[in-house]
Structure 1
Amino acid sequence: MSEFKTVLQPASVSCPRPLPSTAAHECEVTLNIGLFFDGTGNNKTFYSQRDTNTNVARLWEAYRNSPDDGFFRHYVSGVGTPFTEIGEAKPPSTGAAFGGGGEARIVYGLLQVINSVHRYLNGDQARFDQKQLAALCSETRVSSNNPDVQNQSALSAEQKILDDLGLSQGLVSAEDGSFFGIARTGERRRFMRKMATELQQQVQARATLPKVKGIYIDVFGFSRGAAQARVFVTWLHDLLLIDSKLFGVDSYVRMLGLFDTVASVGWNAGAGGHRHSAWATASNLRIHQEVKNCVHYVALHELRTNFPCDSVAVGGSLPDKCHEHHCPGAHSDVGGGYGPGEQGKGVRLQRINPQDPESGMRAVPDDQIKLANLPLNEMYQAALKTCEAHESVPWIDLNSEIAKDAGLPARFGLDRLAMVRQSVQQYFELCDVPAGVETFEALRQHGLRYLAWRYQINKSDGFEKLSSVVRAKSLDEAGYRFYLKGQAIFKNQIRLLSNPSPTVDWTAHEEERKAFHSHASEIFKDMKTLEVKSAVGSFFDDWVHDSYAGFIARFYEDSREFTAKVAHRAAEGQGYVRWRGSYAGSDDRLNALLPENMQQGQDQRRTA
């Protein structure tokens, strides 16, 4: 059984047994297929600022893309952004808020596994082109009850594509079902098995050259993309990778790399939902037992209600071959996505005039000074280790000339990685949180230290004097504005929690108080008494983003002040003073309203 660790400890992954060896003179080959599911609102293609690319996008850059040699990589943009891979220019309105479009991305990943093998065997010709992918990754229906269905002119372009493929609908929401208690095979399963059989026949045909002897699959994801990656692997084993065979070829998922999984599909917890709706069920999110290695990096200082973490643990235990590591920082401090200089973090000091030693210093944004670079490099090293004894390695050596020409050393922050690691190491040494605690408890303990520090800063009226706030004022004007709005919300919440008496403006703020976390008063009590070392506070100031404040900006994109405030309060009414929610293999939300016996168990283990 694996144990919970920090990001400073290398993941204890293994290099699984090599698939059957190949012989060049026999024209044999092993394929490597990498799938990279990006996080909500993240899209390396649509957004031009490369320094805001996530760790998933950067890992994608380091994965070989050479179809002729059997290396395939597939990038999947995050929900809430255009899905250009299937020609979708505008994301569904439910994408960012409720995970709309997530299932289409999972189906796309499955189809690209088929495409990869088909391309290798057929002169780089895909089985499905973009228009076919668009139709397949949809809920479009070709009604069999329509008397005009035989009339091709009555069908839309997507309907005609599906009809030509022998389908009555797209593969989204096409799962197995039942009718009056009788099990019915869904269109997705029927179609995937048909495609797998066709491809298997070609793979195993005597005349087919080269001979595919093995297929390695590597999968990575961040945020909802991590949830998609987990469900992709579950569905892959259910639909295509059966009994360690993919299209009749020995295959396995070698590496499942995850950055801070957040499912959040469906209505939010405040409305009574557990956010494991549609494709993101708790059972689908569990790590499949056939996965050879799974590494999950979890953010310790994420406080937003809408970003509960889905641990890879089941109950309080990590499954075999699963490794969960705790990382300081907010959600995107772990998965990446913050630009250098955002909220005054990710900067280095540079002399204003290098020729004049008396000219003073100024802050300069630096993409290599980010917390996210540590889990990025740890994930890369873990992935590299899983294939160290294999004939073909899909990862580009970061010290190679190829990597240098592509700018990968800078993209992975290698020049300043030691500085990032040293800062993280100092934090863990000084934060006074015991090592090895379960994820839900680590979220409570580390989150409390951040809140206690913010309480101390607020008490001394020192927020606007913080180094990061001063830097943000000049480097990130928009971020600075919302940084201050976040502080105003924090200050108001502290005021309300400090004055529980009904005589103090109770009626005017009754609804606001009702929205607070169920343990807000208890957390507030601990915030006031916990002493945070100055070095820990400096770490928070210099490195950890206030994701709650940054999230406010999303509500102002297309709204006026009053509308934005109302919408934000509805979504994040619990405010700052809360424990991050988490799940561990079920729909029971930890660190929130728990069954009494579980809550008592947590309370007994609390140390701060």
Structure 2
Amino acid sequence: MTAATPVQAPYPVDVFLKPPAKEQSKIATAACSTKSDLPCSIPVRVGLFFDGTNNNLERDRNGKRTGVIDPSTKKQAPVLSKELKPEEFSHSNVARLFQTFPDDKTGSGYFPYYIAGVGTPFPEIGEPTETDDGKAFAKGGQARIIWAIFQVLNSVHSTAHDNKPLYDDSKTGELAQAYENEVGQTEWDAENKRHNRKTHRDWFEPHLQNLRAKLASKPKPTIPSLTVSVFGFSRGAAEATAFCHFLSELLTDGKLIGIPTSIDFLGVFDVVATVGMSDSAGRTTPVPRVFFDGHWAWAKKLLLPLPECVKGGRHYIAAHEQRMNFPVTQLECTGGDFVEVYFPGMHSDVGGGYAPGEYGKGRGAQSAMLSQIPLAHMFKAARLAGVPLRPFSELEITIQDDFAVNAELASVWNAYTDELGDDGHLIKGHMELYYRWRAARLTTLENTASFKASSPQAQEDLRSSNKMLIGDLEAVRLRSHITAPRSPDDPTPYDPKDLSRINQWQYYRAQQGTPLDSWERWAMGIFDQHEPLPAEVMRFFDDYVHDSLAGFYLAGAVTEFDKRKQMADVKAKKEGQRTKFDKKVFALGQKIEAAQEKQRKGETLSKEEEDLVEQAKYDTPFPLMTDSDTADMRSALITTQTSTRREGGGYILRRSYYPLEGFIIRKSTHEQELEKAPSRPVAPKQADARTAAVEYIWVDNLTLALALGEPGIFRDEPETMMA
């Protein structure tokens, strides 16, 4: 069962993170359990920090930019990096925690390792730039996990051999990449006889024996224990969880080459796998979700109970996240102190990754970011579990600032949890408050301070996404009068042009005459009869909770690197090959180059030219992207999901909670808990007779169905398909 949201904000944060005497004693006891007074005996402590998709410490805090690879030279083009100000930092909570693990005590057995998020540069495994495959399909995730295992082996070797790793950086990277091509392959002997496929343990055995031999060659110091602390966010949280399984498979009776080994703490923010074909594909194509579930390859391990070597941890789940492409995987731990907790906000409101003021939220400073609150709780929980994170009072001031929580954020947090009452452990408790806020802002969103403080692109995203919500509500209300699926001879209520104002999920359900499911009925009860929220709770959503649907692009450039790469790609195209949006990109690029040339010649620049030249030093000016540009941006692969730049599920849709059970009809193993109504129930609309038991809609043209992505074809039971 998921635990309730913490009621009080961690404010002042230095007081919150200074444990009382009893807890200090607990921390000291946990720390002493891995200490040794013998000079020839050194326990090894390893910290692994797996960052989330498109999260990268070097870029997001240190301002490092990555050069686009020139197709002709195969080399990265030079690019200037920018020293960021604190109010520009956007590094995740995992990156912040990494900076608190002792990094100057390797001679004493302490080893922290940071693993950059998939889709971002991680040269250690041969990924020099950002990649679309990493962002979309988690390519490179397994190599990161294997790299981390080798760092554990390197840490053990370094402790015994004067800080010399078992394998150098180059060799470690090569091995991490080789693993994927070798494990699972059929082995053949000298007589060309087939043997079993090579397993994970088989592949690692030579490296384990190598380490064993190296330790035997130098008896002192001995290593009495190996303790690993693992943290992760998003797909990095999935990698962190999978790492626990991969490491466990290398243990014999709880020992790694004879060394007692444990994972004392698994601290993860909003575990999202989406490895391979995602859950969203399973929802929007005729292929059963049992095949398209986002838990392909290494991610299958997430659906298993955590291994015995995991002694405890925390999983903080984003209570307001809804995106189809971000299904959360709940974790099961049969022993130890492992707790899952709902935290209000979207995916990156819990795991971090937004900069202050992004989309107008958390304006002014790091201390105004909603993600600071789960960060403080994770730091404290880890220290209480014995993870050797440095005490808050001993952190550098710049790192302490990364953990700050200001008074205004604390005030609205407390107002939110007060309105939440006893429903902090219920997803519907959190979503009821969110839907009440969205209902209140349907026509007033653009009047909020956060909207006015947003960039022009953010305003376009927020405005168009809110317009889609209004269209979705219209479509859902139309369906509320349906008692049975529409027959082929009945007229359809909408035309294709309505896809510009109604999300694809709701559009096709209205076209098919699909009765409302239980979540939709419950949500519409709130939108149609919503109770006004207290002013401070309105401010909580207005100023601190992001709109992840509005800001999540399936089509169009996302990062500064994406924009710079698209600029280069468009420039390389012939004029006749450029789309309408390409021409906007090309024209702006020409304008920038002309202004830069004028500056080089010492000519006077206009104000617009000065701004372009200045911005282009460390950024990439880019045309405003709108939904009217969708056709020029969108890949055919996502047409089953959306008719706009964003995914087409919309707001009246419950997030998927894995693991799922069933084959044709799939629902969460936690379905009963997820369906629990808040203690203050919303009056339901009369719809008992309008609920379809199971939705089966036959079409003769399967190719057409796949192209359109009609959600109703071979679909699940409506009341469980949201799972």
TM-score by length of 2: 0.67
Amino acid at match of 2:164: Q
> 1:483 and 1:75 mapped to 2: Cα distance?
34
> 1:321 and 1:242 mapped to 2: Cα distance?
23
Which stretch shifts more, 59-68 or 84-93? 84-93
Which stretch shifts more, 495-504 or 442-451? 495-504
> 1:251 and 1:203 mapped to 2: Cα distance?
16
Is 1:40 matched up with 2:53? yes
> 2:151 and 2:162 mapped to 1: Cα distance?
16
> 2:417 and 2:662 mapped to 1: Cα distance?
29
Amino acid at match of 1:259: F
Q: 2:642 aligns with which of 566, 569, 573?
A: 569
Which whole-Å deviations, capped at 9, do the CAs of 1:366-389 have from their partners, x for residues lacking one? 1111111111111111111122xx
Secondary structure at the residue paired with 1:306? Answer: coil
* Aligned counterpart, 1:425: 414
Please say if residues 79 and 95 of structure 1, whose CA atoms lie closer than 8 Å, have aligned partners that are also in contact: yes
Secondary structure at the residue paired with 2:393? Answer: coil
Q: 1:515 to 1:572 in 2, by over 3 A?
A: farther
Q: 1:596 to 1:257 in 2, by over 3 A?
A: closer
* Aligned counterpart, 1:301: 320
Q: How does 1:351-500 map to 2 (within 5 A)?
A: 365-387=364-386, 394-400=388-394, 403-404=395-396, 407-413=398-404, 416=406, 419-432=408-421, 434-436=423-425, 442-458=426-442, 461-472=443-454, 476-500=455-479
Which stretch shifts more, 375-384 or 488-497? 488-497
Is 1:59 matched up with 2:38? no
Deviation at 1:596, TM superposition (A): 11
Secondary structure at the residue paired with 2:396? Answer: helix
Amino acid at match of 1:506: Y
Tell me which structure has the larger Cα radius of gyration. Answer: 2
Q: 1:20 to 1:104 in 2, by over 3 A?
A: closer
Aligned residues: 529
> 2:257 and 2:410 mapped to 1: Cα distance?
43
Deviation at 1:519, TM superposition (A): 5.5
Amino acid at match of 2:179: L
Which whole-Å deviations, capped at 9, do the CAs of 1:411-436 have from their partners, x for residues lacking one? 1115x2x5534432321211356244
Which stretch shifts more, 194-203 or 495-504? 495-504
In structure 1, stretches of 5+ residues that fail to align are 139-169, 348-364, 388-392, 437-441
Q: How does 1:1-150 map to 2 (within 5 A)?
A: 4-8=3-7, 19=33, 21-24=35-38, 26-47=39-60, 48=63, 49=84, 51-66=89-104, 67-138=106-177
Secondary structure at the residue paired with 2:437? Answer: helix
The CA RMSD over aligned residues, in Å, is: 3.4
Secondary structure at the residue paired with 1:28? Answer: coil
Q: 1:382 to 1:575 in 2, by over 3 A?
A: same
Q: How does 1:105-254 map to 2 (within 5 A)?
A: 105-138=144-177, 170-172=178-180, 174-176=182-184, 184-186=196-198, 188-205=200-217, 207-239=218-250, 241-254=251-264
Please say if residues 305 and 581 of structure 1, whose CA atoms lie closer than 8 Å, have aligned partners that are also in contact: yes
* Aligned counterpart, 2:694: none
* Aligned counterpart, 2:360: 344
Q: 1:282 to 1:528 in 2, by over 3 A?
A: farther
Deviation at 1:288, TM superposition (A): 1.8
Deviation at 1:92, TM superposition (A): 4.4
> 1:137 and 1:125 mapped to 2: Cα distance?
19
Q: 1:17 to 1:62 in 2, by over 3 A?
A: closer
Secondary structure at the residue paired with 2:550? Answer: helix
> 1:91 and 1:320 mapped to 2: Cα distance?
38
> 1:576 and 1:565 mapped to 2: Cα distance?
21
> 2:365 and 2:665 mapped to 1: Cα distance?
41
Amino acid at match of 2:37: A
* Aligned counterpart, 1:333: 349
Q: 1:457 to 1:565 in 2, by over 3 A?
A: farther
Secondary structure at the residue paired with 2:370? Answer: coil
> 1:221 and 1:257 mapped to 2: Cα distance?
7
Which whole-Å deviations, capped at 9, do the CAs of 1:225-274 have from their partners, x for residues lacking one? 001000001110102x3322223222211111010111111212242211
Amino acid at match of 1:104: A
Is 1:506 matched up with 2:494? yes
Deviation at 1:593, TM superposition (A): 6.2
Which stretch shifts more, 461-470 or 218-227? 461-470
Q: 1:76 to 1:602 in 2, by over 3 A?
A: closer
> 2:404 and 2:225 mapped to 1: Cα distance?
34
> 1:208 and 1:62 mapped to 2: Cα distance?
32
Q: 1:603 to 1:435 in 2, by over 3 A?
A: closer
* Aligned counterpart, 1:281: 300
Deviation at 1:105, TM superposition (A): 0.9
> 2:672 and 2:313 mapped to 1: Cα distance?
31
Amino acid at match of 1:375: P
Which whole-Å deviations, capped at 9, do the CAs of 1:294-330 have from their partners, x for residues lacking one? 111111111111111111247xxx7542111110110
Please say if residues 308 and 582 of structure 1, whose CA atoms lie closer than 8 Å, have aligned partners that are also in contact: yes
Which whole-Å deviations, capped at 9, do the CAs of 1:7-49 have from their partners, x for residues lacking one? 448999997696565234x422112100000001101123415
Deviation at 1:551, TM superposition (A): 0.7
Q: How does 1:576-595 map to 2 (within 5 A)?
A: 576-584=651-659, 586=660, 594=666
Please say if residues 449 and 530 of structure 1, whose CA atoms lie closer than 8 Å, have aligned partners that are also in contact: no
Please say if residues 53 and 337 of structure 1, whose CA atoms lie closer than 8 Å, have aligned partners that are also in contact: yes
Which whole-Å deviations, capped at 9, do the CAs of 1:509-528 have from their partners, x for residues lacking one? 48651268965742334432
Deviation at 1:569, TM superposition (A): 1.6
* Aligned counterpart, 1:166: none
Please say if residues 80 and 93 of structure 1, whose CA atoms lie closer than 8 Å, have aligned partners that are also in contact: yes
Is 1:528 matched up with 2:528? yes
Amino acid at match of 1:201: A
Is 1:552 matched up with 2:553? yes
In structure 2, stretches of 5+ residues that fail to align are 11-18, 64-83, 189-193, 283-291, 482-489, 511-515, 559-565, 567-578, 582-628, 683-723
Please say if residues 311 and 336 of structure 2, whose CA atoms lie closer than 8 Å, have aligned partners that are also in contact: no
Amino acid at match of 1:399: S
Please say if residues 119 and 126 of structure 1, whose CA atoms lie closer than 8 Å, have aligned partners that are also in contact: yes
Deviation at 1:175, TM superposition (A): 3.9
> 2:207 and 2:667 mapped to 1: Cα distance?
46
Amino acid at match of 1:90: T
Amino acid at match of 1:581: S
Secondary structure at the residue paired with 1:286? Answer: coil
Q: 1:425 to 1:129 in 2, by over 3 A?
A: same
Deviation at 1:489, TM superposition (A): 2.1
Secondary structure at the residue paired with 2:368? Answer: coil
Deviation at 1:90, TM superposition (A): 2.8
Q: 1:515 to 1:203 in 2, by over 3 A?
A: farther
Please say if residues 261 and 309 of structure 2, whose CA atoms lie closer than 8 Å, have aligned partners that are also in contact: no
TM-score by length of 1: 0.78
Deviation at 1:397, TM superposition (A): 1.9
Which whole-Å deviations, capped at 9, do the CAs of 1:485-526 have from their partners, x for residues lacking one? 222222222233344488785243486512689657423344
Which stretch shifts more, 126-135 or 543-552? 126-135
Q: 1:408 to 1:268 in 2, by over 3 A?
A: same
